[in-house]
Structure formats: C-alpha cells, structure tokens
Amino acid sequence: MREKLNFYIDGKWVAPAKPRMHDVINPANEEPCGRISLGSAEDVNKAVAAAKKAFDTWSQSTIDERKALLDNVIAVYQRRLGEMAETISMEMGAPLPLAQSSQAPAGLGYLMDARKQLDTFEFEYQYNGTHRILREPIGVVGMITPWNWPMNQIAAKVGPALAAGCTMVLKPSELAPLNAVLFAEILDEAGVPPGVFNLVNGDGPGVGAALSAHPDVDMMSFTGSTRAGTSVMQACAANGVKKVALELGGKSPNIILEDADLQKAVARGMMHMANNTGQSCNAPSRMLAPRSKYEEVVQIAAATASAIKVQAPGEAEKGAIGPLANATQFQKVQGLIQKGIDEGARVAAGGVGRPDGFNRGYYVKPTVFADVNNNMTIAREEIFGPVLVVIPYESEEEAVKIANDTPYGLAAYVQGPEQKARQVAKKLRAGNVHINGAFGGMGTPFGGYKQSGLGREGGPFGLEEFLEVKAAIGWGEQA
C-alpha cells in the first residue's frame, strides 16, 4: 500500500486543505494498492497562485536554460524508468511487458521530443521586412489527464509546456494517480523551479472543474472522454476566454481493401485493437471488410482474438492483455457487449463475462462481433475494451462513407496496395491515418477531427499549442 497524501505545490509537498482520502484500486485483484487525498478548490487556488508567480520568471528563461532543465528531467526519468513501469502496471493493470516497453517509455519519448524541438524551433523570426514574429509562452496551463496511457498523456503536455516557458497545474486521474506523484518527484529531483510544475490530485467535480473555471488559468489542456471535454470547454467559456486543447474519444475505422493480404492485415488489426486491453482512444475498433471476403475476415479476426492470452499483469507474457483499468470501465464494457448481442450482432469470439480462470479482477474476453451495421450501438459508441466490430461494405466508396459516418475523427487505418491505400487515406476525416500498419513515432502530430478534439500533441505542433503569437510591427532587420 503506497500512501501519497500530499500535493506538490510551489516546490514543496504540502497537505491538502480539506483532507479526503481515496483508495487506488489494483484492477488485477480489486484490492487497494495505494491511497491519495482528493483536493478541493482551495488547493487549486494555491497551486494556480504558485504557477502564476513562477510564470514571471520562467517565461523569461533562455532556451539554453530550458534545454538544461529538460536534460535533467530526462536523466532522472531514465534512472527511474523501471519504477515508473511497475507503478503503472500495478495501478491501471497494464501487463508488465507493455508497461516496460510502451507505457513508461512513452512518457520519456515525449520529454525527449520536447527537448529536441528546442534545437530547431523558431521562437522569433523576421516577417515582411519590418515585422518581427514572437512566439511567447501562453501563461499558466491547467492540465487534466486520463488513466489509460497515464504517463504518455502527462508528458505530452508537461514536456512541451516546459519547453515553451509555461507554468502548470496538473490534475491526473484519481483512478491512476501514483505515476503522476512519481513524476512530480522526478521533476523535483531534476530541479524544476518552485511553482513551475504543480500537482493537485482529485476528482472532476472537486479539482477539475475548479481548475477549468479558474480566472488565472490561461489555457486548459485536457485528455479524456468527449463528454468530459465538453464540460471543460463550457467551464472555460463561462469563466473568461482561455485557450482549450482537447484530445478526446475515437471510434476508428480500419478499412481492409479487396486486395489486402487478409491474414496479415486482419490479424494485425485485431492485435492492435486488443493492445492495452483495448483502452486506447485511437484503437482500430471498426473493421470494414469487403462483402466478398467478409466471412474470411471474420474467421481470421475471431481466431486471432481467441489466441490472445489474458494474464495477470505481473505474470503476463509479451502480447498478453491484462484487466481493464477500473470497475466502472469493466461494467461499461460488459454492458456494451451485452448490448451488441441484444441488437442482433453475432459473437464470433469472446462475449460477456470474465475469461476462464478468473473469478475476480476486471478481466474481459477479447471479443469479435460479426453481422454489425454502422447504426448499432457497438459501432457508434467508444467501448474502450478489446472488442472489435466487423462491418461489411460493397465498394470502396461505401467503405469511405461508413468510415466517416461517426462523430469522431481521431484515427483511421487502411490496409491494401500502397497506391490505392493512399487514395483512400486522403478521403478519411481523421487526424491520423495509418497505412498498412505504419506508426508515426514521437514528433508526429496527434489529435483529431470533429468530436475527437482540438489541437495537436507531438513535435513542433505540440509546442505551438502552448505559445501565443505576437507581431512586433516596425521591428526592422536586426544588425
């Protein structure tokens, strides 16, 4: 049991104003593995005041000073990488091999990407002869991050915000907060100046709402559900004008073209869907298959799903999946699997209930639904579990129409001959389109169209989110 009851405010670990205890539950056994305090508006006020004060100095820091600080952060993070992986595995159920190879290193990758940007990013440049364009830190940034890829999303915000010269207040998910506490320890050890980074644990009503509505917060950066993102926008709009960056939900299509290598493309799509137990906002959850090869696609997907091992996080082999991250998500996924059955979809693999051998823990069966149309609930709603729906199409034009028939637009996938896949990719309304299993890596802009969000994370695009643009008019060429 790890007790982390204090908040990190103005460079110190301080007790909450109104202590309210909250147990962190290990999803593998449904038992407490940690305890935190849930904060209040009073704690948010202290943290924002510290960030506002620190902004006066940190915003004027030099690029070399920011480089040196990020170098220190990266070094300490690397030293504590194993500890970070174990923490994430324990509190949100990621199999230890996944936590070691992806979850913890993803945070390191975003820090390294932010540091890399400082070598080439133009914060100032001459424009039209007599004007100077100045890109300056936006101010105090409120950050709210989720439980599914916790360090990935924390570092995707904190790294570029530090590089930009911003100060910040972070509210991580109360369902997986221990990694954020460890991250605050890393920043403290690395020498981040007091007030530049602040951590207040809490829930949405107690801390998230207060942070979003705070008049001294200049920008909110949020990752989570579309419903919660809408609430953040409303709170920001009702309490002054501030910038909002949102990375929200998805229901990403995976188009299997007629000429694709079916075995390779379909198996890859199912394995990607199940990665992180399906708890990725860009997961390829809707597989679109040509009618002429529909049953073959369903059979390959079902066979792949049935072969996926479900194992306890600490004992998991590479490629196995663990439990869902929390009880609420477990109940949601089970309910949506039952909803698919009730609406007439055919269960080709998996189904309701825990896998064999598990009578506790938030484990689910890798599931494949066939005979799905795009109007069914399981084709419209983000399930956020290892559940694939397979939808038939008659032509490429219909495939594109079905793919785009969603309120989301975070990611899309196309499998087939390169030239044809490129043509289809251009027609898809999504922030990322992956062709034949390709992935972008750090620095590639990540974000969505439509209800999948606003803004981008990663590379120069992610750094720009934390900057204002000033035109200094009449600023002649420098000597």
The catalytic residues are 247, 281
Q: What order do you get walking across the sheet with 131-137 strand by strand?
A: 124-127, 131-137, 467-473
Residue 103 tokens, joined: 């979850």
Say how far apart CA 234 and CA 286 lie, in whole Å.
30
For residue 217 the two structure tokens come to 């917060």
How far apart, in Å, are the Cα atoms of 413 and each of 65, 116, 246? 41, 28, 22
Q: In sequence order, what are the beta bridge partners of 289?
A: 392
Residue 156 sits at φ, ψ, to 5 deg, of: -65, -20
For residue 473, the cross-strand partners are: 131
**Three-state secondary-structure class, residue 461:** helix
Distance CA 111, CA 424 (A): 34
How many other C-beta atoms can be found within 10 angstroms of the C-beta atom of residue 341?
15
82 vs 361: CA distance, rounded Å: 24
CA torsion through residues 418, 423, 424, 429, sign: positive
CA 7 to chain centre: 23
DSSP calls for 69-132: HHHHHHHHHHHTHHHHHHHHHHHH---HHHIIIIIHHHHHHHHHHHHHHTTT--SEEEETTTEE
Q: Give the amino acid at 253.
A: P
Q: C-alpha 235: how far from its chain's center?
A: 21
Distance CA(379)–CA(373), nearest Å, equals: 7
Mode of pairing for the β-strands spanning 140-144 and 12-14: unpaired
The closest of 320, 304, 303 to 363, measured between CA atoms, is 320
Tell the burial category of 12 from Cβ atoms under 10 Å away from its Cβ (0-12, 13-18, 19+): exposed
The residue whose two tokens read 């709210």 is 144
